[in-house]
Structure 1
């Protein structure tokens, strides 16, 4: 008890309010998941309509035929989904930034991954296969070194990587017209990728809630 009181001597750590950021992140992730559900519906609509007699949007020799109404609407759905996903990424990283700052303030220790990896970890080739998960793991383990990492973190990261695989998930290797052609030819891989991304968004939302709740309960127990 004496040792515990000695640790608490001095001004309390400066903590950032994170509950609001967590709620925003959950809402953003929910919207991103909904956007991918809409995209899946349009993939089904394209597959059900079938390829027009004039062929796919992309023609031989690099030419493009005029889009029909359904294909035009898919372009809008795709652009809107990309915009929602970009906003979701920003909101998620803002939440993670606040959680990371709080973890450092609570423990007084340097985290394994420096601040730059919070942003660069997502875009540096090869490193982006594990660094973002490592940043999230740092936030939890620095405060709770005795606890195992919540399983939802691994579910989120596994689904995220699966969504990236093959260029049919979060980041398409093909342009929108080529994705339309894929929907005409074989819609199943596109629908599978859509399902994975929706599941990844749901897992991310649960992870945000789980890690935020754990950190806030720790702060409350410490009386900060």
Structure 2
């Protein structure tokens, strides 16, 4: 008699609810879009008002002049926008973490990028130009290898990079006083970057809804008892 024990099969990773995380991320993206739209309004106000005769806020050699009421209010708008953007980033990463785990459970394949890249991919120079998009694309393609990647993923990433190129994004942000000077001297690039980031937030929300709906459908199919 063969008494050798047969090892138990390794259980598949559990699927994680994704709809709630998607709703939170979409809501956070809407708030972030409003925050960046408010910044754009203040950029226009600063440009129309013009730089005071006393010069820029930071005048060199550690000398700072008192801020005007408009500049002071822009600091407040910028601070609120920064907090909202960080909350938005956390909500987005929470959604992406769930989508990534579910993709591994549904496909049985290991993700292309290791877990630390879920966070480091946004801040490590150079590689942050493609890794975040790659994580999103890999999560979708591993579950749907026969489908084309939704175009909204590329639209979102292109607009996000365009916003970063303007120097007002979450990662490569100038100081608030530097942005004020830019609004006084050359506001059009700032407005272009603001527009790109607001559009990126909108396309990101659409991307989340699109990818969540597709993955949820596959999760529902996997949950049905075999015929």
- State the TM-score, normalizing by the size of structure 1: 0.91
Return the alpha-carbon distance in structure 2 between the equivalents of residues 171 and 131 of structure 1: 15
Return the alpha-carbon distance in structure 2 between the equivalents of residues 221 and 185 of structure 1: 57
1:48-87 equivalent positions in 2, closer than 5 A: 48-87=48-87
Return the alpha-carbon distance in structure 1 between the equivalents of residues 219 and 174 of structure 2: 47
- TM superposition shift of 1:112: 1.1
- Correspondence for 1:211: 211
Partners of 2:123 and 2:171 within 8 A in 1 = no
- Correspondence for 2:126: 126
- Correspondence for 1:195: 195
Q: What's the secondary structure of 1:125's corresponding residue? A: coil
Give 5+ residue unaligned stretches, structure 1. Answer: 1-9
- TM superposition shift of 1:151: 0.3
1:28-39 equivalent positions in 2, closer than 5 A: 28-39=28-39
After TM superposition, the structure 1 stretch with the greater mean CA deviation from structure 2, 183-192 or 31-40, is: 183-192
- Correspondence for 1:185: 185
Q: Show CA shifts across 1:17-73 (max 9, x none).
A: 110000000000111011000000001111111111212212143311000111000
Partners of 2:22 and 2:209 within 8 A in 1 = yes
Q: What's the secondary structure of 1:72's corresponding residue? A: helix
Return the alpha-carbon distance in structure 1 between the equivalents of residues 173 and 135 of structure 2: 27
Query: Cα gap change, 1:196/1:115 in structure 2, threshold over 3 Å: closer, same or farther?
Result: same
After TM superposition, the structure 1 stretch with the greater mean CA deviation from structure 2, 115-124 or 137-146, is: 115-124
- Correspondence for 1:137: 137
- TM superposition shift of 1:168: 3.7
- Correspondence for 1:5: none
More helix by share: 1
Partners of 2:107 and 2:143 within 8 A in 1 = yes
- TM superposition shift of 1:170: 3.9
Q: What's the secondary structure of 1:222's corresponding residue? A: helix
Return the alpha-carbon distance in structure 2 between the equivalents of residues 173 and 122 of structure 1: 14
- TM superposition shift of 1:11: 7.8
Give 5+ residue unaligned stretches, structure 2. Answer: 1-9
Query: Cα gap change, 1:113/1:187 in structure 2, threshold over 3 Å: closer, same or farther?
Result: same
- State the TM-score, normalizing by the size of structure 2: 0.90
**Superposition RMSD on alpha carbons, in Å?**
1.7
Q: What's the secondary structure of 1:29's corresponding residue? A: helix
How many residues align? The count is: 215
- TM superposition shift of 1:169: 3.9
Q: What's the secondary structure of 1:146's corresponding residue? A: coil
Partners of 1:170 and 1:197 within 8 A in 2 = no
- TM superposition shift of 1:166: 4.2
- Correspondence for 1:26: 26
